[in-house]
Amino acid sequence: MRRYYFLAIATALLVTVIFVVIKLGVGRKTLLPEKKEGPLIRDPIFWSKFKMINSLPPIGRQRPYTEKEMTILRQAISDPNEYIRIEAIAALREAKHDPKQREEAIKLIVPCLKDPEWIVRIYAVRSMYWLKAKEAIPHILPLLNDPHSDVREDAKKVLKHLGYSVKD
């Protein structure tokens, strides 16, 4: 009988805690602020672009991109949305199979090293690492003075990887 009394109290306590958590709405709200341009979740154009570009890196790992795929990436790299630009950079860093595509990928990514968004600059500099782009060293050097510390650190790592001597 004592055992059932303990189980009844534990069950009632658990049900009360669950009810309070549900009533307070814990887990429904995020601590992160919304972006200035509004929630991207509701933008079907953003998601169609994102899904299309996001599907390209696995393809690029296996074979050179087709002309149609490269056209999509050329347009996406200059998209106004930073997330689309990031996905385009991530796809372009896989363009290693064909030397001409690799060269074009580097040329397309280099302007992103000056992007106003720090996260885009990080993706761009990391892509130079993946593409082993020694020809991009002059474009990476200004990032050693970037206002964002993560960009500076990644620039140092990439420059060292590319064989450039960097002071710590």
* Three-state DSSP class for residue 71: helix
- Residue 53 domain-assigned (yes or no): yes
Separation between Cα atoms, residue 97 and residue 129, nearest integer Å = 16
Which has the higher per-residue pLDDT, 59 or 17? 59
Radius of gyration of the chain from its Cα atoms, rounded to whole angstroms: 24
In whole angstroms, give the CA distance from residue 110 to residue 125: 8
Query: Which two tokens mark 5?
Result: 């009394």
pLDDT at 134 (0 to 100): 95
Say how far apart CA 76 and CA 117 lie, in whole Å: 15
Q: Which two tokens stand for residue 41?
A: 């979740």
- Is the residue at 31 inside a domain? no
Whether 97 maps to a domain, the answer reads yes
% the chain with pLDDT above 70: 83
pLDDT at residue 105, rounded to an integer: 96
Q: How confident is the model at residue 36 (pLDDT cuts 50, 70, 90)?
A: low
Residue span of the structural domain in which 74 resides: 41-161
Q: Is 30 helix (H, G, I), strand (E, B) or coil?
A: coil
pLDDT at 7 (0 to 100): 74
Task: Classify residue 98: in a domain, yes or no.
Answer: yes
Q: What is the pLDDT of residue 20?
A: 65
Q: Which residues lie below 8 Å from residue 143, measured CB to CB, with a gap of 6+?
A: 113, 121, 125, 151, 152, 154, 155
Whether residue 104 is predicted with pLDDT greater than 90 in this model: the reply is yes
In this prediction, residues 10-39 reach a mean pLDDT of 61
- How far is the C-alpha of 73 from the C-alpha of 84, rounded, in Å? 10
52 assigned to some structural domain: yes
The whole-chain average pLDDT of the chain stands at 87
For position 48, which CATH number holds? 1.25.10.10
Please tell me the predicted confidence (pLDDT) of residue 13.
Answer: 77
Q: Domain tally for the chain?
A: 1
109 falls within a domain: yes
Residue 34 lies in a domain: no
In a domain, 7, yes or no: no
**Is pLDDT above 80 for 135?**
yes
